[in-house]
């Protein structure tokens, strides 16, 4: 693999109301669908050879809107499980544990640890690399992109700004090493003020 394209799904219904979804299977909002449609020409120009998507509907629908209705489902690309926080309003959570979770150090009751999540998403990349395709597109989730940035380029979660909806992050590979080529790119430019 020479290049890995990571696209976060468009805004979901719960993203719009700032509710944590984790692995809950929440659909895209109308705005989210429009966001993905706007990103599609940029992704098409990068001509992915292999397209993988999380099996959650917000990612699957995003893959379709990007022009890849036959994207292969890859359950390893599911978002991190937030356990008992599923469906909770971000604004209602205790800020200390929430910040710890964003930084990868706190695990909500019944949730998935950052280490387990990072290992799981890393396996998805390992499997994709074994396919031998030059450019791989993964349609996934903000947490997945943050975990892969941590795992592949050593960018700790506390140093990563939130990944914007329907944004593109690009990693290039040379001599077996990943390097960050683009982060949070949207049709309107960079997504610098994405909500948590």
Does 15 belong to an annotated binding site?
yes
Catalytic choice (9, 68, 112, 141): 9
Compute CA distances 98 → 26, 90, 146, 186, whole Å: 21, 8, 16, 27
Name the CA dihedral angle for 32, 24, 169, 120, rounded to a multiple of 10 degrees. Answer: -170
- The number of beta carbons lying within 10 Å of the beta carbon of residue 179 is 11
Does 9 belong to an annotated binding site?
yes
Does 11 belong to an annotated binding site?
yes
Does 13 belong to an annotated binding site?
yes
**Exposure on the CB side of residue 65, measured as CA atoms within 13 A:** 24
Distance of CA 162 to the CA centre of its chain: 10
Does 131 belong to an annotated binding site?
no
Does 31 belong to an annotated binding site?
no
Catalytic choice (68, 79, 112, 141): 79
The two structure tokens encoding residue 132:
């031998």
Could you give the angle at which helices 57-65 and 30-45 cross, rounded to 10 degrees? 50
Please name every residue paired with 12 in a beta bridge, in sequence order, or none if there are none.
28
Does 184 belong to an annotated binding site?
no
30 is annotated as an active-site residue: no
Determine the Cα–Cα distance for residues 65 and 85; give it in Å rounded to an integer. 29
159 is annotated as an active-site residue: no
Report the binding-site residues for substrate.
8-15, 58
**Residues annotated as catalytic (active site), given as ranges:** 9, 79
């Amino acid at each position: 693999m020479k290049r890995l394209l990571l696209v976060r799904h468009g805004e979901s219904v719960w993203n719009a109301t700032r509710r944590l979804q984790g692995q809950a299977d929440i659909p895209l909002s109308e705005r989210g669908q429009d966001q993905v449609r706007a990103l599609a020409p940029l992704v098409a120009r990068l001509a992915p050879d292999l397209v993988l998507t999380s099996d959650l509907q917000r990612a699957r629908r995003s893959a379709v809107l990007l022009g890849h209705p036959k994207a292969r489902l890859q359950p390893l690309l599911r978002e991190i499980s937030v356990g008992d926080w599923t469906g909770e309003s971000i604004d209602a959570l205790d800020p200390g544990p929430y910040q710890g979770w964003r930084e990868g150090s706190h695990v909500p009751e019944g949730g998935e640890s950052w280490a387990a999540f990072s290992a799981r998403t890393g396996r998805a990349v390992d499997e994709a690399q074994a396919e031998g395709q030059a450019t791989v597109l993964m349609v996934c989730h903000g947490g997945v992109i943050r975990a892969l940035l941590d795992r592949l380029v050593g960018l700790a979660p506390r140093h990563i700004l939130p990944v914007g909806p329907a944004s593109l992050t690009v990693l290039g590979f040379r001599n077996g090493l990943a390097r960050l080529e683009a982060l949070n790119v949207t049709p309107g430019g960079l997504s610098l003020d994405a909500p948590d």
